[in-house]
């Protein structure tokens, strides 16, 4: 059984260009980082490409990691930025969709027992790229609108607008899900 390395040993080994340590870092973090990439990049193949490019940047910039925060958090930030770069290159960030017939009085308690995390992630994945990107950055990564605006090269008001539309879009998907549940249980 191979010896498990501490985070500090992994970082030091990567900084020294040790391929075995790079492989161990990849093996330790790739599954979680692919999930991060998939939240932004819909296509599985493209998400895997983003992941590989992200890890190349991790190993190229490992000297910039100062052990002042979480190593996983540092890697995650690189993956998010790499995902955003991919979306920018694809120029699919800000497609708009019409939101019709969305109720402001949706009862979210019905979803607590009926909706699991995987279904919610699938709903988020259905959102247009711009909505999904801002929603993920704000609601999941915890970025402020100012940080989102700087990261995406948009205004803060555009970020707020995209988040608002993302919420409405998600609400519509939840409403449709609720209707489907009522038909199946009714």
For 24-56, the pLDDT digits (tens) are 999 999 999 999 999 999 889 999 999 999 999
Kindly state whether residues 86 and 12 are assigned to the same domain: yes
Task: Identify the domain containing residue 144 by its residue range.
Answer: 109-185
For 123-158, the pLDDT digits (tens) are 888 888 888 999 999 988 899 999 998 888 889 999
Q: Based on the structure, what is the number of domains in the chain?
A: 2
Last residue of a domain, one of 55, 90, 125: 90
Q: Is residue 55 domain-resident? A: yes
Long-range contacts of the stretch 30-34 (C-beta < 8 A, 24+): 30/55, 32/72, 32/76, 33/75, 33/76, 33/79
């Amino acid at each position: 059984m191979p010896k498990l390395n501490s985070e500090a040993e992994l970082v030091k080994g990567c900084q020294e260009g040790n391929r075995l340590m790079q492989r161990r870092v990849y093996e330790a973090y790739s599954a979680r980082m692919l999930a991060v990439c998939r939240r932004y990049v819909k296509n599985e193949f493209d998400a895997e490409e983003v992941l590989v490019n992200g890890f190349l940047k991790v190993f190229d910039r490992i000297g910039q990691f100062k052990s002042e925060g979480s190593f996983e958090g540092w890697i995650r930030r690189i993956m998010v930025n790499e995902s955003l770069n991919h979306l920018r290159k694809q120029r699919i960030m800000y497609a708009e969709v019409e939101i019709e017939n969305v109720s402001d009085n949706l009862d979210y308690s019905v979803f607590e027992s009926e909706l699991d995390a995987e279904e919610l992630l699938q709903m988020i994945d259905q959102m247009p790229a711009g909505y999904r990107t801002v929603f993920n950055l704000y609601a999941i990564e915890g970025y402020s609108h100012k940080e989102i605006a700087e990261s995406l090269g948009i205004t803060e008001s555009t970020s707020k607008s995209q988040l608002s539309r993302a919420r409405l879009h998600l609400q519509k998907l939840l409403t449709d899900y609720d209707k489907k549940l009522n038909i199946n249980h009714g």
